[in-house]
């Protein structure tokens, strides 16, 4: 540890770093640490001073207390695999030959002090190398431009030694013992061979060694800024305060250049230490992550919503009434939406605006389908893959105008997909004329779902939402009940459904207007669990449930969403690899337990025999599983080896406690396979 840090622990906090502390130094200040430890009743076996002559009031005071002061000495090695158990003493002027071993539990080291020149440097002031004190200090001849001349003159004068401490701090008792000159020690011992240099730590935060900086110089990283990034020297929370002077001195020796010519890195805040509590204080309890709220969040809270974290959002899981259990509330919401009218706060869905002359070309590369041919006013479902071919997001893409598309993403994917788009635009297709804006929080979006959905919107009045004027997978803009609105005719439940986007500032008022107008139609809000159940009843996939980073669209039966016409898209070549195109891949199927029970989520389908590790073979797993109020039984979706070819086959799924559940492979579409209900 730094000798000053050891002293602070003992004096300020009464904490002992070790019963026996060896001090190694090149200046007089470390002797203050020896005196503080001795006064606290702790043992200082020795002070190893790299200087050949350690004289003066502070060294003499240490000797007077019976503490050994070994002049011209250094440390060749610190002993102990998991904690300090001792040091091997060597001659500082030598190559590390051991002279003696001293048992100890801590090593306090001091190479001298450097002034906090950060604010001076931030303001444009220049620095001078002070050879006598082995430090960079402000150059009074080159102060910051535009700074307060008087204040900077005092700082510069004090650093230059032109002003004494008594002059800078009048009326204060600043008497201090005279100190001998510091000796610049950049490596210990001075002639350390490579085996010692490879264990000589310059930056204890980033584990940068003397040998790392020397390697950087050999590799051609002669600029101190380049060497910093090559080695990560000084890039930790101390911003180089522990290590930068030592590191640039080692670099200057390796380059055979004077230290001033090598220069310094750019100083950045914080220039003073901050408490760990200030760093970690916010990352605890309910504020471990920033909480995002939709414009309708306050209404949900008053309605007693059970919350579910979705990304950084909080979404209502369900709305309990009276003495209902959570399961009963979910079942009620599903039945009511299927039979009458449900409202879902869908504001968390990502909304990315993609605009420009090359926007269509750009989206054709991002999505597996063709988006450039989408007519204005129409919607199209799209899949997005990584360059490795795996499905990373899905959503409805809307063409707003000739050069503008609106891409809906999953709730947790908006920021990630926005970054994904910008990465490709800035790094690969930098010359394409495309602009992307994340409008997720600019709009509130409400799904109006169920057989009475059209009746409610027609009652509000405004946009024509009839089947003829607004067919499935189209949208319209205008006013709805006096609210500025964009109405999308899309469905994630299989029911007649509209998703209505209004400005975020009008979201709560619009929600309340829907509830008031929908009373005669049996309106009822529903949460994410009802949403998930209804989509599973229809066999709709969910990113994060049916996908886990190893799944491609073809595994999910989504070949229809992959264009056979366009030459390329992100992930296409990866999907053509032998493993990706193998008929033995696990593919999406529906699963019905023979006894009607709910198969445990994540359960594996076991097969005969064992693998090379002696474990039972598996042939599939459950990805989504629910009790369906609509069907009155458990339903599940899963990925099964060659699944679509095995319809009707019965699989055994292992559960906890050694039990198992038998389930039949069926179509993943459990409800309304003809899709008639979304067009009622």
Other beta carbons within 10 Å of 473: 16
Nearby residues of 230 by Cβ (< 8 Å), 6 or more positions away? 216, 219, 221
Residues 577 and 652 in one domain: yes
pLDDT at 141: 86
Residues 531 and 556 in one domain: no
Residues 447 and 509 in one domain: yes
The answer on pLDDT for 442 being more than 60 is: yes
Report d(CA 64, CA 60) in Å as an integer: 6
Over 284-310, what HEC string results? CHHHCCCCECCCCHHHHHHCCEEEEEE
Residues 572 and 512 in one domain: no
Residues 513 and 369 in one domain: yes
The order of strands in the sheet holding 497-503 is: 475-480, 483-488, 497-503, 443-449, 341-345, 523-525
pLDDT, tens digit, 9 for 90 and up, residues 136-150: 888 888 888 764 555
Token code pair at residue 103: 């048992």
Residues 88 and 129 in one domain: no
Q: Taking the mean position of all CA atoms in its chain, how far away is CA 155? A: 41
Q: Does a structural domain hold residue 509?
A: yes
pLDDT, tens digit, 9 for 90 and up, residues 180-222: 899 999 999 999 999 999 988 888 888 999 999 999 999 999 9
Report d(CA 515, CA 517) in Å as an integer: 6
Residues 125 and 80 in one domain: no
Last residue of a domain, one of 94, 110, 126: 110
Please count the structural domains in the chain: 5
Other beta carbons within 10 Å of 6: 27
Residues 435 and 490 in one domain: yes
CATH of the domain at 88: 3.50.50.60
CATH of the domain at 392: 3.30.1360.120
The torsion defined by the Cα of 270, 275, 279 and 280, in degrees rounded to 10, comes to 170
Q: What does pTM read for this prediction? A: 0.67
pLDDT at 270: 56
The answer on pLDDT for 163 being more than 60 is: no
Last residue of a domain, one of 489, 520, 535: 535
pLDDT, tens digit, 9 for 90 and up, residues 19-62: 999 999 999 999 999 999 999 999 999 999 999 999 999 999 99
Last residue of a domain, one of 70, 87, 110: 110
Report d(CA 632, CA 533) in Å as an integer: 12
């Amino acid at each position: 540890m730094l000798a000053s840090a050891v002293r602070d622990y003992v004096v300020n906090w009464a904490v002992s770093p070790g019963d026996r502390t060896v001090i190694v130094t090149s200046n007089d200040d470390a002797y203050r640490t020896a005196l503080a430890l001795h006064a606290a009743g702790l043992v200082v076996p020795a002070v190893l001073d790299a200087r050949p002559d350690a004289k003066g009031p502070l060294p003499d005071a240490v000797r007077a207390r019976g503490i050994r002061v070994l002049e011209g000495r250094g440390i060749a090695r610190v002993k102990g695999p998991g904690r300090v158990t001792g040091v091997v003493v060597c001659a500082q002027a030598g190559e590390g030959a051991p002279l003696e071993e001293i048992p100890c539990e801590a090593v306090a080291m001091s190479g001298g002090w450097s002034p906090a020149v950060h604010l001076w440097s931030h303001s444009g002031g220049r620095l001078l190398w002070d050879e006598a004190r082995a430090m960079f200090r402000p150059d009074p001849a080159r102060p910051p431009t535009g700074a307060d001349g008087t204040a900077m003159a005092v700082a510069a004068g004090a650093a230059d030694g032109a002003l004494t401490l008594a002059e800078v701090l009048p009326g204060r008792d600043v008497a201090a013992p005279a100190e001998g000159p510091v000796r610049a020690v950049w490596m210990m011992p001075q002639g350390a061979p490579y085996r010692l240099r490879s264990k000589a730590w310059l930056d204890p935060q980033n584990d940068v060694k003397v040998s790392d900086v020397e390697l950087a110089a050999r590799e051609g990283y002669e600029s101190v800024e380049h060497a910093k990034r090559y080695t990560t020297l000084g890039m930790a929370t101390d911003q180089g305060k522990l290590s930068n002077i030592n590191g640039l001195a080692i670099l200057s020796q390796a380059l055979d250049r004077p230290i001033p010519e090598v220069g310094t890195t750019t100083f950045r805040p914080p220039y003073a230490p901050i408490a760990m509590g200030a760093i970690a204080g916010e990352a605890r309890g309910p504020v471990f992550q920033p909480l995002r709220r939709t414009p309708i969040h306050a209404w949900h809270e008053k309605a007693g919503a059970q919350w579910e974290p979705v990304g950084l959002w909080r979404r209502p899981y369900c709305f309990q009434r009276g003495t209902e259990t959570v399961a009963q509330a979910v079942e009620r919401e599903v039945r009511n939406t299927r039979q009458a009218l449900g409202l879902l706060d869908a504001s968390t869905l990502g909304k990315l605006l993609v605009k420009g002359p090359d926007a269509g070309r750009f989206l054709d590369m991002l999505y597996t389908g063709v988006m450039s041919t989408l007519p204005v006013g129409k919607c199209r479902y799209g899949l997005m893959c990584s360059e490795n071919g795996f499905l990373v997001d899905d959503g409805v893409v809307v063409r707003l105008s000739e050069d503008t598309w609106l891409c809906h993403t999953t709730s947790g994917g908006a920021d990630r997909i926005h970054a994904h788009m910008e990465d490709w635009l800035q790094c690969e297709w930098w010359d394409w004329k495309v602009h992307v804006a994340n409008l997720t929080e600019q709009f509130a979006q409400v799904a109006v779902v169920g057989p009475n959905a059209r009746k409610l919107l027609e009652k509000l009045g405004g946009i024509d939402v009839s089947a003829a004027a607004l067919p499935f997978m189209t949208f319209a803009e205008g006013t709805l009940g006096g609210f500025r609105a964009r109405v999308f005719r899309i469905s994630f439940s299989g029911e007649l459904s509209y998703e209505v986007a209004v400005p975020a500032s009008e979201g709560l008022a619009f929600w309340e207007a829907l509830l008031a107008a929908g009373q005669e139609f049996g309106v009822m809000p529903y949460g994410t669990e009802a949403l998930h159940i209804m989509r599973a009843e229809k066999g709709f996939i969910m990113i994060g449930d049916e996908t886990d980073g190893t799944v491609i669209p073809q595994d999910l039966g989504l070949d229809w969403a992959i264009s056979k016409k366009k030459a390329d898209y992100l992930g296409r070549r990866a999907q053509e690899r032998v493993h990706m195109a193998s008929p033995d891949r696990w593919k999406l199927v529906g699963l019905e337990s023979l006894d009607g029970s709910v198969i445990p989520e994540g359960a594996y389908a076991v097969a005969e025999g064992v693998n090379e590790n002696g474990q039972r073979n598996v042939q599939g797993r459950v990805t989504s599983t629910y009790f369906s109020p609509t069907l009155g039984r458990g339903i599940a979706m899963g990925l099964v080896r060659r699944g679509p070819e095995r319809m009707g086959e019965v699989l055994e799924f292992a559960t906890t406690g050694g039990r198992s559940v038998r389930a039949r492979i069926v179509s993943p579409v459990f409800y309304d396979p003809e899709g008639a209900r979304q067009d009622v």
